A and B are shown apart, each in its own frame.
Chain A
Amino acid sequence: MTPRILIVEPHEDVRKLLELSMLRLGYEPVMPVDSGFGDVDAVVLEPSWSYGRTLLRQLGDDVPPVVCLSVYPREAGLAPPESVAYLVKPVSLAKLGDALRSVCGR
């Protein structure tokens, strides 16, 4: 089964890029919608987006592993506790793929 990756990103262009990137890397991109987004295997999150953190809380207590992809460095202290990887934008497709593979196992 193809891992489902929730994309929580405020900028439309970057969101579109991440959607295409997920497809290229062999994952199923999931966009947050009001009706919910079902079970996901991992989250790619811009942690500086406050609404993104609110969305993360909607996942309940069982939050999947989070890959932070941010314009701010790790030292900014924005990463949520569920964060397992932290990447700073811009990032290459290869690096993003490495981070997701370490989270999803493939």
Chain B
Amino acid sequence: MPLRSHARRLARTHLVGGLALIGLAATFGSMLGFKGTTAIGVVAFAPWVALIGFDAGLWAGVSTGAASVGLWLLAGSHEGMHTSAVQIAVRVGYLVLLGAGTAVVGRRLRASEQAHSSVAALQSALIDATVDGICLTDADGNILIVNAPLQRLARELGMPLEGTVPERLLAVAPRLTDPERYRRRMTELAQAPGEMTSDEFELAGTGRVFRGFTAPASDESGRFVGRIWTLREVTADRELDRMRDAFVATVSHELRTPLTSISGFLEMMLDEEEGLGDAGRTYLDVIRRSTERLHHLVEDLLLIAQIEAQRVELDVAIVDLPELVQKCVEALRPAAVEKGVELEILTEGAPTVRGDRHRLTQVLDNLVSNAVKFTDEGGTVTVSIASNGGSATLVVADTGIGIPSDEQGKVFSRFFRASSATQRTIPGTGLGLAICRALVEQHGGTISLESAEGEGTRVTVTLPTGT
């Protein structure tokens, strides 16, 4: 009876224990990173390990009848011997399984380790083989990963080898052409850890230009955990830009000579209009319009080249903004009337600004003529002026064709033209807003744009007021 009872208890315990073991084994396998059939290997040896524990309990525990089991093994009864033989067979079987399982797991672990090591080596080779210097820092700016090109660039820039990345970057400031601007940007960056920024700086006396880019790194929950930094030398790109600008400037200057002849002789012919027939007058009008367009294009190209070369000097004085707006709007009213576009001015206060009258006129001309150009018949263009503390706000709003949302970030770039304009073959060079932005910023102001396709566009300019 004790033996039978013990056998039942043993069987029951092994059954319950076995089920528990499978669960444990699966968990264990999962913790090791095994999936699917691989887990079987873990399952194979885990029961054996646990069974030892169970059996130890059985042998030691009073409730399991340690004495009777000991007797059962020692007495060598038929039943006991039989059971012992089964127990031994089971243990031998488990030993075999344990060996096999361990071998499988060991092999898998070794393979996994090799694979990880191989991927790490490839990743390292990948970031070392890029043109850009790259590094990853933690939230405090300590370097976690850095590639070979960045180490080389850091040496060339004379960066210190110790400290956080922001500290190392700040240490370079005295060697740059505009250290104050650089320090200011670094400070701004330190105050806005979530921001993605891109800046260029030049190593003084060398002509070498670098572009730094940095973006925050987040974990799966979106928490800020560090920053990715990249550094690229763009000296060759800037040299190409300079050559292109010089070429554009030369060509544009050269275009002025034939333009002088064309427009001069055209003016003379128009003075003798009486001798021309209707067809002759029409032809001359076409030549006049085309010449004016070409002249504007040349002027815009030269101005953008001057802006790029930082050669535009402002003749600053106090400018009566409402009066300036009135003059610009009146100059453009004939074009608006011809197109059937209503042009209105809303003035709130009479702000005066400190600026270059000629350049501010260029900004206004560009904005208002753009608004008229991109507004269909029956639409409205409104120019609003308001005084707002230390700044004057100028808004040019239209009910025109608008700009697709995905293109709005590029409208202040040189030569960019919105698809809504090119699809309708509305003429333009894509220089107007780039010129506006450069001139407004040179005045210490800001310019921004909001637009909805099919509804209209609103450009807001702020300028410092002056008395």
Q: Footprint of B on A, CB under 8 Å? A: 11, 13-14, 17, 20-21, 24, 71-73, 75, 88-93
Contacts and interface: CB of A to CB of B under 8 A. Distances in A.
A89 B268 contact: no
B295 interface: yes
Given A17-B265, A71-B256, 15 more contacts: A20-B268, A21-B264, A24-B268, A71-B253, A72-B253, A73-B302, A75-B313, A89-B256, A90-B256, A90-B259, A90-B260, A90-B264, A90-B295, A91-B260, A93-B267
Given A24-B268, A71-B254, A93-B267, A17 B311 contact: no
A10 to B, nearest CB: 9
B264 A11 contact: no
Contacts of A91: 260
Contacts of A93: 264, 267-268
B63 interface: no
B259 A89 contact: yes
Contacts of B256: 71, 88-90
Contacts of B313: 75
A104 B253 CA distance: 29
Contacts of B258: 13
Contact of A17 (B253, B254, B260, B295): B260
Given A17-B264, A21-B264, A89 B311 contact: no
Interface string B301-332: 01000100001010000000000000000000
9 contacts: A13-B257, A14-B261, A20-B268, A71-B254, A71-B256, A71-B257, A75-B311, A89-B260, A93-B264
Interface in B259-304: 259-265, 267-268, 295, 302
Contacts of A90: 256, 259-260, 262-264, 295
Nearest to B264: A17
A20 B271 CA distance: 13
Contacts of B267: 92-93
Nearest to B255: A71
